[in-house]
Amino acid sequence: MTVSGRLPDFPWDSLTQHAERAREHADGIVDLSVGTPVDPTPYVVQEALAAAADASGYPTTVGTPAVRRAAIDWLARRFGVTGLGPDAVLPLIGSKEFIASVAVHLGIGAGDLVVQPQVAYPTYEVGAALAGARSLATDSLTAIGPEVPRLLWLNSPSNPTGRMLPPDHLRKVVEWCRDRGTLLISDECYIECVWEGEGVSVLHPDICGGSHEGILAVHSLSKRSNLAGYRCAFVAGDPTVLGELLAVRKNLGLMMPAPQQAAMAAALDDDTHAEAQHATYAARRAKLRPALESAGFRIDHSEASLYLWATRDEDCWQTVAGLAELGILVAPGSFYGPTGGRHVRVALTATDERIDTAVARLKV
Helix then strand then coil, in percent of the chain rounded to 5, is 45, 15, 40
For 356, residues 6+ apart whose C-beta sits below 8 A from its C-beta are: 287
CA atoms of 263 and 321, how far apart (whole Å): 40
Separation between Cα atoms, residue 204 and residue 183, nearest integer Å: 17
Q: What is the pLDDT of residues 134-159, one digit of tens each?
A: 999 999 999 999 999 999 999 999 99
Distance CA 208, CA 85 (A): 16
Residue 280 to residue 275: CA distance in whole angstroms: 9
Strands (E), 28-81: 30-31
**For residues 27 and 357, is the Cβ–Cβ distance under 8 A?**
yes
CATH of 44-270, one of 3.40.640.10, 3.40.50.970, 1.10.760.10, 3.40.50.300: 3.40.640.10
How confident is the prediction along the chain (364 residues), in pLDDT tens digits per residue?
555 566 666 666 789 999 999 999 999 999 999 989 999 999 999 999 999 999 999 999 999 999 999 999 999 999 999 999 999 999 999 999 999 999 999 999 999 999 999 999 999 999 999 999 999 999 999 999 999 999 999 999 999 999 999 999 999 999 999 999 999 999 999 999 999 999 999 999 999 999 999 999 999 999 999 999 999 999 999 999 999 999 999 999 999 999 999 999 999 999 999 999 999 999 999 999 999 999 999 999 999 999 999 999 999 999 999 999 999 999 999 999 999 999 999 999 999 999 999 999 999 7
The domain 4-40+273-362 having CATH identifier 3.90.1150.10: the answer here is yes
Q: What SS3 class is residue 227?
A: coil
pLDDT value for 13: 74
In contact, 308 and 302? CB cutoff 8 Å: yes
Q: Please return the burial class of 317, using the count of CB atoms within 10 Å of its CB with bins 0-12, 13-18 and 19+.
A: middle
Selection from 268, 266, 224, 273 nearest residue 73 by Cα: 268
What's the predicted TM-score (pTM) here?
Answer: 0.94
126 contacts: CB under 8 Å, gap ≥ 6: 7, 8, 100
Q: Show me where the domains of the chain are located.
A: 4-40+273-362, 44-270
Expressed in angstroms, the distance from the first to the final Cα of the chain is: 50
209-231: pLDDT as tens digits: 999 999 999 999 999 999 999 99
How far out from the chain centre does Cα 156 lie? 9
Q: Phi and psi of 159, rounded to 5°?
A: -110, 115
Q: With contact defined as beta carbons under 8 Å apart, do 159 and 247 qualify?
A: no
Q: Tell me, what's the pLDDT at 11? A: 67
Supply the pLDDT for residue 7: 62
How far is Cα 328 from Cα 24, in angstroms, rounded to an integer? 11
Phi and psi at 114, nearest 5°, equal -120, 130
Question: Please, are residues 127 and 103 in contact by the beta-carbon 8 Å criterion?
Answer: yes
Closest CA to 117 of 203, 184, 211, 178: 184
Q: What string of DSSP letters covers 126-148?
A: HHHHHHT-EEEE-S-SGGGTT--
What is the reported pLDDT for 247? Answer: 97
